């Protein structure tokens, strides 16, 4: 009975053939395992309703600890904005872009989104600030820095305004569902001090 | 630095991934020799223990959140998903921990019951002190078999009891313990087969392997996959000894009969449900003996194990 087995495993190419077959099988099974693991890894994000790759934090302090810097937040913080933020997201990438969203206390909808790179002026990812239909784009300035103010409309006809500029070496964008004067007030008050 | 919970979660996950990959290889290659399967399964048991601390020491950047974005699978992502305020990772780890501990306790309880029965059968003086010289017939039988199997003749002790005790013990000085009840109950060809089985254990240092498996099981008590793999590896050791004994004596049927006689004499009734698993395993061993499964080592050489180990290590590096 042992002889049959020896003949079956030796084959025409001997040990080399066996090892080649083994390598092939190992690569195949590892690739399959990697695919399964990758799929399983997307489940928590999917269950939490987050786009893949974005990491959600419960507290601003946790995000700041992750990016090793304090975030720029508006010192002007009217009563109608709810604190703490409803959404704190970090996208992958060397610039460590993040988005912090505040809700309107009365309407219960998102009113202000502060999006910024932890370092560098690389463009902010669309995943953090989904684009809409551009209605108007004008150049302006924030505390002496050049800025672009863009009015946009979503497919559901909701309108908002984005203001993008570079402050302290970081690209910053504010998105407000409100008027331009208030947006500029938020922008000019942006600081590392907590509201 | 990774916490103990993270390391434990990684160890469990590594155990599951390693077991799935190794079982796939065993079936697809295929690996028919029990000795080879034992080696591959040992890989499954050692890698989950060795890799988490090794990776933590050699690649501390794996603990950063930036690496989690690169990783194939991150347990911390599951931890952020909470059920009733508890992270899913911790919840899963606790559930698997209970399952793993139950498997360990089940086998511990069964072995303790066996030990207690044997102890009672041998009387208050214990096994070694109740042992006697095996006599010329048994001694010469063992010496003849040892010569044919190329093994140094181990010490043989005859236990003065009716209980069906036949096993080998001792890591440094292997000893075959034969109960008088077994020697009298088995026909000569059956006894020869049973002794050859024990000598096969001696030849492969299976007592040491048994302790190694027990140690790996104890350290990974929280990992049910490791418990199942270790039990399966222990079974492979028995299958190999059976196959070698059958090859040496050329009488597999006699060995199967000897196994059945021993288990009948063993009285597994007192084990209740726990005994059923042992009887089922014995039935499987008898079937394999009658089917004529190969004993000889196949091709699970150092290169094969290195290929599997390296492949798994690369994959698991990206599982945090």
Contact B294 A5 (CB under 8 A): yes
Q: What is the pLDDT of residues B46-79, one digit of tens each?
A: 999 999 999 989 999 888 777 887 899 998 888 8
Residue range B250-286, pLDDT digits in tens: 999 999 999 888 877 665 555 555 566 777 888 888 8
Give the H or E element holding residue B195.
Answer: helix B188-203
Q: Is the pLDDT of residue B236 over 80?
A: yes
- Per the CB < 8 A criterion, the answer to whether B281 and B246 are in contact is no
Give the three-state DSSP class for A51.
coil
Among B81, B295, B307, select the one facing A19 at the smallest CB separation. Answer: B307
Percent of chain B with pLDDT strictly greater than 70: 89
Looking at residue B195, its pLDDT comes to 95
Rounded to a whole number, what is the distance in angstroms from the first to the last CA of chain A?
Answer: 81
- Mark yes or no for CB contact B33/A5 under 8 Å: yes
**The pairing of beta strand B175-179 with beta strand B155-159:** parallel
CA distance A73 to chain B (A): 23
Give the separation between CA B320 and CA B316, rounded to whole angstroms: 8
- Long-range CB pairs of B173-181 (<8 Å, 24+ gap) are B174/B201, B174/B202, B174/B207, B176/B142, B176/B202, B177/B127, B177/B131, B178/B134, B178/B138, B179/B121, B181/B265
Residue of A nearest to B296 (CA): A2
Comparing CB atoms, the residue among B29, B78, B314 nearest residue A25 is B29
Q: So what's the pLDDT on residue B165? A: 82
- Model pLDDT, residue A139: 95
Which residues numbered 113-172 in A keep a CB inside 8 Å of some CB on B? none
Token representation of residue A25: 């099988």
Taking residues A16-23, report their average pLDDT: 85
Whether chain B has a CB inside 8 Å of the CB on A65: the answer is no
**Mean local confidence (pLDDT), B68-97:** 89
pLDDT of res. A46: 84
Average pLDDT over residues A122-134: 90
* Percentages of chain B per state (helix, strand, coil), in multiples of 5: 75, 5, 20
Q: Which long-range contacts (CB under 8 A, 24 or more apart) does B282-289 make?
A: B284/B235, B285/B238, B285/B239, B285/B242, B285/B256, B285/B259, B286/B256, B286/B259, B286/B260, B288/B239, B288/B242, B288/B243, B289/B242, B289/B243, B289/B246, B289/B252, B289/B253, B289/B255, B289/B256, B289/B259
Confidence of residue A8 (pLDDT cuts 50, 70, 90): very low
CA B164, B168, B170, B175 dihedral sign is positive
Interface of B with A (CB under 8 A): 17, 20-21, 24-25, 28-29, 32-33, 65-66, 68-69, 71-74, 77-78, 80-81, 88, 243, 247, 292-296, 298-299, 301, 303-304, 307-308, 311-312, 314-315, 318-319
A115's CB contacts (< 8 A; 6+ apart) are A97, A98, A99, A100, A124, A128, A129, A172, A173, A174, A175
Contact criterion met (CB < 8 Å) for A41 and B71: yes
Phi-psi region of A80 (alpha: psi -120 to 50; beta: other; left: phi over 0): alpha
- Tell me the β-bridge partners of B175: B155, B169
**Higher-confidence position of A170 and B264:** A170
pLDDT of B227 higher than 90: yes
Cβ-Cβ contacts under 8 Å for B293 (sequence gap 6 or more): A1, B32, B34, B239, B243
Convert the pLDDT of each residue in B111-155 to its tens digit.
888 788 777 766 655 555 556 677 788 889 999 999 999 999 999
Percent of chain B residues topping a pLDDT of 90: 51
Q: Which of B10, B16, B23, B24 to mutate to test the interface with A (most CBs of A within 10 A)?
A: B24
Query: What's the mean pLDDT when you consider all of chain A?
Result: 87
Name the residue among A29, A45, A48 with its Cβ closest to that of B24. Answer: A29
Residues of chain A with Cβ-Cβ distance to B319 below 8 Å are 37
Nearest CA in chain B to A37: B73
pLDDT exceeds cutoff 50 at B238: yes
Q: Which ipTM did the prediction report?
A: 0.82
Task: Specify whether the CB–CB gap between B193 and B242 falls below 8 A.
Answer: no
Q: Is the pLDDT of residue A151 over 90?
A: yes
Tokens standing for B125?
């003086």
The Cα–Cα gap between B230 and B245 comes to 23
User: A43 to chain B nearest CA, in Å?
Assistant: 8
What is the mean pLDDT of the segment spanning B5-28? 92
Q: Greater confidence, B318 or A2? A: B318
The pLDDT assigned to B268 comes to 54
Find the largest Cα–Cα distance for chain B. 72
Regarding predicted confidence, which is higher, A138 or B297?
A138
Which chain A residues touch B16 with a CB distance below 8 Å? none
Question: What pLDDT is attached to residue B125?
Answer: 54
């Amino acid at each position: 009975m042992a002889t049959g087995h020896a003949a079956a495993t030796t084959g025409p190419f001997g040990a080399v053939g066996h090892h080649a077959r083994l390598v092939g099988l190992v690569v195949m099974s590892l690739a399959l395992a990697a695919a399964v693991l990758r799929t399983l890894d997307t489940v928590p994000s999917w269950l939490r309703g987050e786009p893949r790759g974005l990491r959600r934090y419960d507290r601003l302090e946790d995000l700041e600890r992750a990016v090793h810097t304090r975030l720029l937040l508006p010192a002007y913080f009217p009563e109608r904005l709810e604190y703490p933020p409803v959404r704190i997201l970090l996208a992958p990438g060397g610039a460590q872009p993040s988005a912090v969203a505040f809700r309107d206390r009365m309407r219960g909808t998102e009113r202000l989104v502060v999006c910024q790179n932890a370092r560098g002026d690389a463009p902010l990812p669309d995943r953090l600030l989904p684009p809409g239909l551009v209605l108007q784009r004008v150049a302006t300035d924030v505390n002496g820095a050049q800025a672009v103010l863009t009015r946009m409309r979503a497919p559901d006809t909701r309108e908002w305004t984005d203001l993008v500029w570079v402050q302290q070496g970081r690209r910053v964008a504010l998105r407000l569902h409100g008027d331009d004067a208030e947006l500029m007030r938020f922008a000019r008050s942006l600081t590392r001090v907590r509201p | 630095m990774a916490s103990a919970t993270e390391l434990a979660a990684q160890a469990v996950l590594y155990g599951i991934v390693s077991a799935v990959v190794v079982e796939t290889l065993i079936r697809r290659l295929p690996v028919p020799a029990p000795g080879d399967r034992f080696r591959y399964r040992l890989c499954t048991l050692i890698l989950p223990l060795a890799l988490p601390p090794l990776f933590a020491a050699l690649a501390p950047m794996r603990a950063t959140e930036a690496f989690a974005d690169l990783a194939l699978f991150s347990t911390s992502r599951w931890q952020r998903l909470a059920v009733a305020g508890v992270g899913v990772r911790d919840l899963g780890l606790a559930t698997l921990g209970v399952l793993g501990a139950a498997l360990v306790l089940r086998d511990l309880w069964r072995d303790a019951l066996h030990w207690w029965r044997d102890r009672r059968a041998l009387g208050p003086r214990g096994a070694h002190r109740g042992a006697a010289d095996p006599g010329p017939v048994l001694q010469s039988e063992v010496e003849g078999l040892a010569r044919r199997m190329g093994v140094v003749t181990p010490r043989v002790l005859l236990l003065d009891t009716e209980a069906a005790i036949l096993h080998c013990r001792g890591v440094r000085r292997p000893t075959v313990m034969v109960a008088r009840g077994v020697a009298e109950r088995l026909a000569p060809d059956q006894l020869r087969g049973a002794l050859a089985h024990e000598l096969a254990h001696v030849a492969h240092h299976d007592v040491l392997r048994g302790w190694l498996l027990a140690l790996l099981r104890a350290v990974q008590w929280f990992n049910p996959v490791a418990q199942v793999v270790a039990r399966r590896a222990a079974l492979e050791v028995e299958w190999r000894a059976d196959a070698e004994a059958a090859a040496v004596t050329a009488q597999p049927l006699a060995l199967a009969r000897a196994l059945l006689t021993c288990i009948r004499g063993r009285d597994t009734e007192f084990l209740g449900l726990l005994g059923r698993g042992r009887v089922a395993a014995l039935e499987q061993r008898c079937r394999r003996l009658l089917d004529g499964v190969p004993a000889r080592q196949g091709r699970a050489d150092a290169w094969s194990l290195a290929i599997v180990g390296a492949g798994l290590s690369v994959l698991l590096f990206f599982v945090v």
